[in-house]
Amino acid sequence: AQTVTQSQPEMSVQEAETVTLSCTYDTSENNYYLFWYKQPPSRQMILVIRQEAYKQQNATENRFSVNFQKAAKSFSLKISDSQLGDTAMYFCAFMKHYLGNQGGKLIFGQGTELSVKP
């Protein structure tokens, strides 16, 4: 069975600074996807960034980037130039590769509550 672990329940960062959120996972699968989701106070889940395990290049989306270490089963999220709107709960998630219309289950970590301070 797959597991996802986020060992930082809470973190804080000053506005405009950089912060890194940690995530490790355990799986015997070779083909899978990793995600970071943001859940602001509205509680709407928002996809921040996605990484395909078969890609060696780390994914980047504007101020958000990941450090994907497949051998170490590590998937950290770096937020650069932190903004007040980045304040949210962040969840790391794992999905096995599926074909067709079956499956697609997400396994979530415990979450990291990030506060961006002015």
Partner 1 sequence: GAVVSQHPSRVICKSGTSVKIECRSLDFQATTMFWYRQFPKQSLMLMATSNEGSKATYEQGVEKDKFLINHASLTLSTLTVTSAHPEDSSFYICSARDGQGLSYNEQFFGPGTRLTVL
Residues that bind partner 1 (CB under 8 A): 33, 42-47, 50, 52, 89, 91, 95, 97-98, 100-106, 108-111, 113
In angstroms and rounded to an integer, the radius of gyration of the C-alpha atoms of the chain is 14
Residue (13 or 107) nearer to partner 1, CB = 107
Residue (80 or 98) nearer to partner 1, CB = 98
Residue (8 or 80) nearer to partner 1, CB = 8
Burial 11-45 (b: 16+ CB within 10 A, else e): eebeeeeebebbbbbebeeeebbbbbbbeeeeeee
Report how far residue 92's alpha carbon sits from residue 111's, in angstroms, rounded to the nearest whole number: 7
- Shortest separation between residue 7's beta carbon and partner 1, angstroms: 13
- Shortest separation between residue 16's beta carbon and partner 1, angstroms: 27
